[in-house]
Amino acid sequence: MLAVEQRPVIGVPVQCAEYVPAQIAGHVSLPERCIAQRIRILCTHLPDGEVVETPAAGYVLDRALFDKALAVAAGRAGAEIWTGARASRFTLRASGLVVEVKRGARVEAVRCRVLIGADGPRSTVGCWAGQVNAEFIDAVQVEVLLPAPQESTHVYFDPACRGGYGWLFPKGETANVGGGVSRRMGGDPQEALARLLDRLGIKESAMIGRTAGPVPAGGPVASIRVGNVLLAGDAAGHTHPVTGAGIASAIVGGELAGKAAAQAVKTDSLAALDEYEREWEAFMGGPLRHALDKRRYLDQHWSDDPAMLSNVVRKTWVAFKEYGRRET
């Protein structure tokens, strides 16, 4: 197996809020060094001023170390890893699918029996397969020094954070503070972040890092398998359409795609790839479609009135029992 990583250093820069639910430990090894802080409670701050605490066991990761640990595990399992490399084009030949990979000044042709695209929200492999994400939440985040430790994760809903929300995820002496918005609804991520930082009393002098990027919010792409091409994680649109969470689903999707690809190579039959679609649908198809319905409802009923928006959030945010109900 060959893993192609565009970044010269795996996991850097981090483009992630870094929170994962505790259940992820059932799917992947989570070394202690990769855990920045354990979390027990989620505090949801509604626009009308109410704060609701919800049990939400999980971890805020050191994502760079976590990604490196995954790469080490892959290498020990026999994978060859190319860093600072980029898949630039593909061609169909008599011998099968051939991907051209740029490594510095060199271009190498790699014949693929199975190609897995796990290359992010604007996936190159997804474009080749004709399966692309069409809807996004645009997010910007800073890492800040905390004046005192925080024990819980916090999310903030505000009319200014249109179509999205703000967050503070503590990680020991620092925290990730960010905002995600829908630009098509008129949201401005920089403005949303500035408003949240002002609300929290965080000054520019406390910031030690900054990142930004798009988060898929339109649900899964139409097909996560096209011939001998599989898509996983953000590339497949497997992020939660409301929360934007994507680490856990990427771990599960990558595991299922890898097993299907290995079986296809072992049996010399692409029919084995069908299992990836079936297993993913059974595991996450229903929950993601439900989340997409909630995303649609949130967008359609977004309000600048704090009381009205609070009512909408209660129906569409995962911390509330109303989230489990279908809207008509």
pLDDT at 327: 67
What percentage of residues in the chain have a pLDDT greater than 90?
Answer: 94
pLDDT tops 60 at residue 186: yes
What percentage of residues in the chain have a pLDDT greater than 70?
Answer: 99
**Spatial separation of the C-alpha atoms in residues 305 and 295, rounded to whole Å:** 19
Task: Please give the structure tokens belonging to residue 125.
Answer: 């492999």
pLDDT at 260: 97
The pLDDT tens digits for 15-66 are 899 999 999 999 999 999 999 999 999 999 999 999 999 999 999 999 999 9
Q: How far apart, in Å, are the Cα atoms of 157 and each of 69, 192, 269, 282?
A: 34, 10, 49, 32
The pLDDT tens digits for 214-266 are 999 999 999 999 999 999 999 999 999 999 999 999 999 999 999 999 999 99
pLDDT at 92: 79
pLDDT at 95: 64
Sign of CA dihedral 110, 113, 118, 119: positive
**Spatial separation of the C-alpha atoms in residues 310 and 303, rounded to whole Å:** 9
H-state helical runs in the chain: 63-76, 124-129, 189-200, 247-267, 274-280, 286-300, 306-316
When pLDDT is averaged across residues 140-169 and rounded to a whole number, the result is 96
**Spatial separation of the C-alpha atoms in residues 280 and 269, rounded to whole Å:** 19
pTM of the predicted model as reported, rounded to 2 decimal places: 0.94
Residue type for position 47: P
Q: How far apart, in Å, are the Cα atoms of 273 and each of 109, 279, 282?
A: 23, 10, 15
Task: Please give the structure tokens belonging to residue 248.
Answer: 């856990």
Residue type for position 128: W
Mean pLDDT, the chain, rounded, equals 95
The pLDDT tens digits for 84-116 are 999 999 987 766 799 999 998 999 999 999 999
